[in-house]
Amino acid sequence: MSQIVLPLSLSTITKMKQFYQASLAEKLPPGAVFVAKTPHCTITAYHSGKVLFQGPGCNAEADKWSSEATLLKPVKAKTSLPKQTPGTHLPANFSQLSVVGSDEVGTGDFFGPITVVAAYVRNQDLALLKELGVKDSKGLKDEQICEIAKQIKEIIPFSLLTLHNEKYNALQQSGMSQGKLKALLHNQAIGHVLKKIEPEKPDAILIDEFAKEAVYYQYLKGQKNIQRERVYFSTKAEGVHLAVAAASILARYAFVQQFEKLSKLAGFTIPKGAGAKVDEACARLIRAKGKDVLPQFVKLHFANTEKAMKLVKR
């Protein structure tokens, strides 16, 4: 249920009791000054100065009084999930540490593989990477990403794993979820990088969060070599440490290269994403090469497969 708590002065609470006179309830919970029930909101004022607004109309009702709140902003009740700013739960000065970051590309694309990269960026390499243009790849075009990737792949230790669609489809059909696949790939890529940089150890490992930590380790249950030491998760991790930004750029680069290969195989440029364009392209591919080639090109369980089949039958 939606609810809002406002800290209000006792004089405001007295005013409110007057205001809600016609809707006052008789039964009061312990510590309450009054309870009022309007059609869309229940208001409970406490001697502590907290006033609780509950129900679908709680925002509108609380708005009437929020200007009198003793704090500048209405305090939301703890039952609503706090919005965590990416990275705030990490060790202090995290962006300056030597970190292994990992990220993946291609999970939402109908055509093309999933690429996962774990990359190690030392504190002393941060300035250089920034100089080379490494940043959140969402603000970068594919051409820029490829240019940056070509340079940084010579500089930083990384591990790239490419899960081609033939194998992806087989694993998916055997009942493995995409989440589990991703967890396996991230864990493996991180393990590879840690091996590469031995005996050096990173200050931390940061995974761009695609699943909550507990779920991630659930996926990895029964695996050998599960990386747990100093492993952190953050949403939007590309903006939290350059190691994840670099991993993302390298993964995107590998993905784009695979796309070019697939386009050559198909005989035309295949589109990214999972929109109507890919349905058309898949139909074209089926007409040209037959549907038996699909497992090599696409993630079969996407709804796009059916849509493309329908286009072909038309």
Residues that bind Mn ion (CB under 5 A): 103, 208
3-state secondary structure the chain: CCEEEEECCHHHHHHHHHHCHHHECCCCCCCEEEEEEECCEEEEEECCCEEEEECCCHHHHHHHHHCCCCCCCCEECCCCCCCCCCCCCCCCCHHHCCEEEEEEECCCCCECCEEEEEEEECHHHHHHHHHCCCCCHHHCCHHHHHHHHHHHCCCCCEEEEEECHHHHHHHHHCCCCHHHHHHHHHHHHHHHHHHHHCCCCCCEEEEECCCCHHHHHHHHCCCCCCCCCCEEEECCHHHCCHHHHHHHHHHHHHHHHHHHHHHHHHCCCCCCCCCHHHHHHHHHHHHHHCHHHHHHHECCCCCHHHHHHHHHHC
**Smallest gap from residue 3 Cβ to Mn ion (A):** 33
**Smallest gap from residue 103 Cβ to Mn ion (A):** 4
Residues 243 and 193 sit within 8 Å (Cβ to Cβ): no
Complex with Mn ion: residue 51 or 299, whichever CB lies closer: 299
Complex with Mn ion: residue 251 or 281, whichever CB lies closer: 251
**Residue 239, Cβ density class (10 Å: 0-12 exposed, 13-18 middle, ≥19 buried):** middle
Complex with Mn ion: residue 103 or 125, whichever CB lies closer: 103
Complex with Mn ion: residue 167 or 236, whichever CB lies closer: 236
CA distance 191 to 187: 6
Q: Which residues contact 226 (CB under 8 A, 6 or more apart)?
A: 187, 217, 220
Residue nearest to Mn ion (CB): 208
**Smallest gap from residue 104 Cβ to Mn ion (A):** 6
**Smallest gap from residue 209 Cβ to Mn ion (A):** 8
Complex with Mn ion: residue 130 or 138, whichever CB lies closer: 138
**Smallest gap from residue 291 Cβ to Mn ion (A):** 31
Complex with Mn ion: residue 45 or 256, whichever CB lies closer: 256
**Smallest gap from residue 26 Cβ to Mn ion (A):** 55
Complex with Mn ion: residue 208 or 279, whichever CB lies closer: 208
Complex with Mn ion: residue 125 or 208, whichever CB lies closer: 208
